[in-house]
Structure 1
Amino acid sequence: MKAPTPGRWASTEWLEDTLEWGARALAPHGLTLRAWTQPHARPWSTALRLETDADPVWLKAPGDGALFEVPLLVLLAELDLPHVPRPLAHDLDRGLVLLPDGGEVSRVAYGGTTPPERMADHLALYAHLQRLTEPHVDAIVALGVGDLRPTRMPRLLEQTIAVLEAERAPAALSREDAARLRAVLPAYAEACAELEASGIAPTLQHDDLHDSNILARGPVIIDWGDSCVGHPFGTMLATLNSIAFHHKLAPDDPAFGLVVDAYTDAWTDLHDRPTLRRLVSLAQRVGPLTRSLSYRQALTNVDEPAWREYGDAMPEWLLEVFEADLPRRPPLLG
């Protein structure tokens, strides 16, 4: 079994092997490795910045629970989809991907936080990308990407409650909280059924789309390790939460309507604006399950300090089902 992360990524053995692969992968592009740094080694991924005799290049290693990110990036590039990275090389056995430098993320490019109107522009392009993935969702799931389509989510919620109720601290769900969640399973299933009945096709859903996961130049959507196949509007949970937090906006701020309408414009061939807004709200209400599952995936084969630091995100995200005081999220039972 592989050594746990993030410690594995600091080991001499892993670094030497990975840098040797990186140097070989650069050669067909006429590039030579001159120096390297490791800007971060988180439990769920690490990235090495490779300095070459031309532009820098990034070498990414996803965590053991998100190894699908490597073949996913390759597939998205092979499909020639817009606003996605174009890998220079990859190794499925090692779980490595070599990516060109895309410049600053949007948050940095805009001085610390992206204005809502610029996020609206980014999201309109991302929505177009999502619609283009509709014919390919089965191929994407075959890569190991989670299948979180609305029809599957009630049963997955029920299973996740049971798993976390038996989990070790700090990822354990208390008996009381498990009972609260089981009590809303019928309403949760109704919300999922309405999403399924909407006729909006499942797509690739990034599930952690904020302005530090968007390169301003392009723009290009990066860091697909939390992604799943599901209702596209599930994206809005993380996105609107991030906008609310970084701009310190009240839940009824008109900026949210601007962003939601720009994003959902790609589906106005199917529904009117009020219906699309309602579906966004429903997707946010059921979305905490996907975030909980993404943390469980991210913490696959991590060391004990990483588990202690991040394990509580799994039950905490599930309990977001009850949080109504967030942008465009009415109470699930309202």
Structure 2
Amino acid sequence: MDTDAPDLTGAATWRDPGWREPAVAWAHERLAASGRTPVGRPEQVHVRAWSTAIRIPTDDGAVWLESVGAGSAQEPPLAVALGRWVPGRVPVPLGADAGRRLLLLPDGGTTLRASGRGGAVEAWEALLADSARLQVEVAEHAGEMVALGVPDARPERLPGLVAGLLADDDALLAGSPDGIDPALRERLRGSLAQLAELCRALAAGPVPASLQHDDLHDGNVFVAGDGHRFFDWGDASVSHPFLALLVPLRVAAAALGLPPGSPALLRLRDAYLRPWRAFAEAPALHELTGLALRIAPLERALTWHRILRGVLPEERAGWQASVPGWLAESGAPGPLDVVPGT
């Protein structure tokens, strides 16, 4: 891992007045331009090594100043673009500074998790159907998203990206107790040709590349009267859209107390796939979903690697095991696989 990468950030960055005060001043300028006036002290309610969020009360409701590390630099310009392309499905930014990785958003309301409705299968069905509709609508902009700096993880590129990660001793914590198992590393290296075949099958399928959230769950979506508003694009890439199913299926299974392969999880898969029926019939979509879920843990490992490369080394250590951890998941049963004895 390149510990000399420029512009490293961490919680120490976000709490530094030298960063915070100019960032808040920028937000006040944007608020003035939009006709809003701050009416209270900013409150920094979210601090992670790779991002922060500051709540600013105004005379027209609260707004949120967000900033991300270099590994999530795509988020501000992507959020602005999504506000143009699908304004009904995302909070529309009040301002963005791509160079400083700043984003100013209106308050989105209540997340599904905070609403207390995340314990119902129907709520997850609606979330996944709306997320698929967003992906369908923005698929035509895949090239534009890559040009904006959204990481390009389309299936044809994934084998090379995974091969590069497997060659990185530092990223894999090779030789440490939390690092990748050497046998797993060799197995993954030996299966790169098979991965390439799977990726070719996905790329050749009828479903186009689109936005892949890569961390979609009930805490990253606002519940609105007419649907959902999706946010937190720091993990996002342009990839096969069905890879986005991995995280919500895992989180839903935990929230609903469902074992792998549960019929309720198949209901969630099918709710997600209905908006894609314009591209293929259900059996073909089921097959593509199976392929995507086999590959998705590898992209999660790549995402963690990308984000952690932008984090200060002293703050990186507590999260670095996520990279080999997700690589290990690639050989484990997926959320739709029936596990004997469950």
Match of 1:58 in 2: 64
Give the structure 2 partner of residue 132 of structure 1: 137
Greater mean deviation of Cα atoms: 199-208 or 180-189: 180-189
**TM-score scaled by length of structure 1:** 0.93
- Equivalent AA in structure 1 for residue 234 of structure 2: G
Q: Does the CA contact (< 8 Å) of 2:129 and 2:271 recur in 1?
A: yes
Aligned residue number for residue 175 of structure 1: 182
Q: In structure 1, what is the equivalent of residue 240 of structure 2?
A: 231
CA distances 1:65-119 after superposition (whole Å, capped 9, x unpaired):
11110001111112244311200111122211110001111011125x3422111
2:230 to 221, 232, 235: 221
- 1:237 CA drift (Å): 0.8
- Inter-partner Cα distance in structure 1 for 2:255 and 2:88: 27
The 2-side partners of 1:273 and 1:167 are apart by 38
Q: Determine the structure 2 residue equivalent to 1:259.
A: 268
2:22 & 2:262 partners in 1: Cα distance? 50
Find the counterpart in structure 1 of residue 336 from structure 2: 328
Decide whether the 8 Å contact of 2:71 with 2:307 is kept in 1. Answer: yes
> How large is the RMSD of aligned CA atoms in angstroms?
1.9
| Structure 1 letter corresponding to 2:101 | G
The partner residue of 2:151 within 130, 146, 163 is: 146
Matching residue of 1:11: 16
Q: Hey, what does 1:159 align to over in structure 2?
A: 164
Say whether the 8 Å CA contact 2:83–2:91 is kept in structure 1: yes
Range with bigger deviation, 168-177 or 52-61 = 168-177
Query: Structure 1 residues 122, 168: CA separation in 2 closer, same or farther (over 3 Å shift)?
Result: closer
Task: Find 2:104's aligned residue among 84, 92, 98.
Answer: 98
What is the TM-score of this pair, normalised by structure 2? Answer: 0.91
The alpha carbon displacement at 1:298 in A equals: 1.6
* Inter-partner Cα distance in structure 1 for 2:314 and 2:337: 34
User: What SS does the aligned partner of 1:41 have?
Assistant: strand
Deviation at 1:330, TM superposition (A): 7.7
- Give the drift of 1:39: 0.8
The equivalent of 2:318 in structure 1 is 309
Offset at 1:40? 1.2
Contact 2:206 2:280 in 1 (8 A): no
Give, in whole Å, the separation in 2 of the partners of 1:200 and 1:330: 26
Provide the rounded CA distance (Å) in 1 between the counterparts of 2:159 and 2:52: 33
1:25 aligns with 2:33: no
2:3 is aligned to none
2:284 match: 275
Counterpart Cα distance in 2 of 1:185 and 1:101: 44
Cα deviation, 1:293-330, whole Å, max 9, x if unaligned, reads 11112213323342111000011111111001x32148
When residues 152 and 2 of structure 1 are mapped into structure 2, their CA distance, relative to the original with a 3 A threshold, is: closer
- CA distance in 1 between counterparts of 2:68 and 2:127 reads 25
Matched, 1:202 2:219: no
Relative to structure 1, is the Cα distance of residues 164 and 209 closer, same or farther in structure 2, using a 3 angstrom cutoff?
farther
Post-superposition offset of 1:174: 4.2
Amino acid at match of 2:232: D
CA distance in structure 2 between the partners assigned to 1:237 and 1:98 by the alignment:
29
Partner SS for 1:58? strand
- Unaligned regions of 5+ residues in structure 1, if any? none
Task: Render the CA deviation track for 1:134-186: whole Å, top value 9, x for unaligned.
Answer: 21111100111111111111222111111246755667534332102112223
Does structure 1 conserve the Cα–Cα contact (< 8 Å) formed by 2:47 and 2:53?
yes
| Separation of aligned partners in 2, 1:198 and 1:68 | 27
User: Could you say which residue in structure 2 is the equivalent of 1:46?
Assistant: 52
Deviation at 1:272, TM superposition (A): 2.3
Q: Specify whether residues 278 and 310 from structure 1 end up closer, same or farther in structure 2 by C-alpha distance, changes over 3 A only.
A: same
Shift of 1:15: 1.2
The CA distance in 1 between the partners of 2:206 and 2:33, in whole Å, is 46
Give the Cα–Cα distance (whole angstroms) in 2 for the partners of residues 268 and 330 of structure 1. Answer: 25
The Cα shift of 1:190 comes to 2.0
Matched residue type, 2:269: V
Sequence identity percentage: 36
